Structure 1
Amino acid sequence: MSVTLGQAAWALMFVAIYIALVAGVILALGLPGIIDFTPDSLLLVLLPTATAAAILAIYLHLFRRNNLTPADLGFRRFTPRLFHLLWQIPATIIVCALMQGLSLALLTLTGLDTTTARAANDPLTDLADLPASIAVVTVLVIAVLTPLWEEVLFRGAFLDGLSRRLRPAVAIILSAALFAAVHVVPLSFPYLFTLGIALALVRRFHQNMWAPILLHAANNALVVLLALILARAAS
Structure 2
Amino acid sequence: MGTRVRLRDTALLGAVTIGSGALLTGLGLLAVTLTASGWTPAARVALAIGPLVLLTPLVACAAGHALLVRRGPRLALEDVGLAKPNRVPVGLVLWIPLAVLSAALSTGIALGAASLLGAEDAGGSASSTPSGLVSDLPLPAGVAVAVGMALLFPLFEEILFRGMLHGALSRHVAPWAAAVLSATVFSLVHVTPLLMPYTLVLGLWLGWLHRRYESIVPSVVLHCCNNALVTVIALSSL
Verify same fold: TM over 0.5. Answer: yes
Return closer, same or farther for 1:165/1:124 CA change in 2, 3 Å cut-off.
same
Report matched runs for 1:164-179 at 5 Å. 164-179=171-186
Whose helix proportion is higher, 1 or 2? 1
Partner Cα distance (1:139, 1:29) in 2: 21
How far the C-alpha of 1:108 sits from its partner, in A, is 0.7
Quote the residue 1:195 is aligned against.
202
Report matched runs for 1:40-189 at 5 Å. 40-64=46-70, 65-77=72-84, 81-114=88-121, 117-119=124-126, 121-189=128-196
Report matched runs for 1:2-21 at 5 Å. 2-21=4-23
SS at match of 2:156: helix
Q: In angstroms, what is the RMSD of aligned CA positions?
A: 2.2
Matched AA of 1:39: V
- The answer on whether the counterparts of 1:58 and 1:153 sit within 8 Å (CA) in structure 2 is no
Partner Cα distance (2:135, 2:80) in 1: 36
Return closer, same or farther for 1:160/1:79 CA change in 2, 3 Å cut-off.
closer
Matched AA of 2:185: L
Unaligned runs of 5+ in 2: none
How far the C-alpha of 1:63 sits from its partner, in A, is 3.0
Matched AA of 1:109: L
Partner Cα distance (2:69, 2:103) in 1: 31
| CA displacement, residues 42-82 of structure 1 (integer Å, 9 cap, x when unaligned) | 34344212332332333233333321121222323367621
- The answer on whether the counterparts of 1:118 and 1:187 sit within 8 Å (CA) in structure 2 is no
Quote the residue 2:25 is aligned against.
23
Segment of structure 1 superposing worse, 154-163 or 50-59 = 50-59
Unaligned runs of 5+ in 1: none
Matched AA of 1:3: V
- The answer on whether the counterparts of 1:151 and 1:212 sit within 8 Å (CA) in structure 2 is yes
Partner Cα distance (2:87, 2:178) in 1: 27
Return closer, same or farther for 1:61/1:184 CA change in 2, 3 Å cut-off.
farther
How far the C-alpha of 1:225 sits from its partner, in A, is 1.0
- The answer on whether the counterparts of 1:121 and 1:186 sit within 8 Å (CA) in structure 2 is no
TM-score by length of 2: 0.87
Partner Cα distance (1:109, 1:191) in 2: 19
- The answer on whether the counterparts of 2:69 and 2:76 sit within 8 Å (CA) in structure 1 is yes
Partner Cα distance (1:22, 1:127) in 2: 18
Return closer, same or farther for 1:183/1:99 CA change in 2, 3 Å cut-off.
same
Return closer, same or farther for 1:199/1:183 CA change in 2, 3 Å cut-off.
same
- The answer on whether the counterparts of 1:14 and 1:57 sit within 8 Å (CA) in structure 2 is yes
- The answer on whether the counterparts of 1:18 and 1:57 sit within 8 Å (CA) in structure 2 is no
Q: Say if 2:235 is the partner of 1:228.
A: yes
Quote the residue 2:214 is aligned against.
207
Matched AA of 1:107: A
Partner Cα distance (1:59, 1:12) in 2: 13
TM-score by length of 1: 0.88
Segment of structure 1 superposing worse, 115-124 or 186-195 = 115-124
How far the C-alpha of 1:128 sits from its partner, in A, is 2.8
How far the C-alpha of 1:34 sits from its partner, in A, is 5.1
| CA displacement, residues 130-161 of structure 1 (integer Å, 9 cap, x when unaligned) | 22222221121111111111000100000011
| CA displacement, residues 196-230 of structure 1 (integer Å, 9 cap, x when unaligned) | 1100001111112211000100010011112232x
- The answer on whether the counterparts of 1:5 and 1:158 sit within 8 Å (CA) in structure 2 is yes
- The answer on whether the counterparts of 1:155 and 1:175 sit within 8 Å (CA) in structure 2 is yes
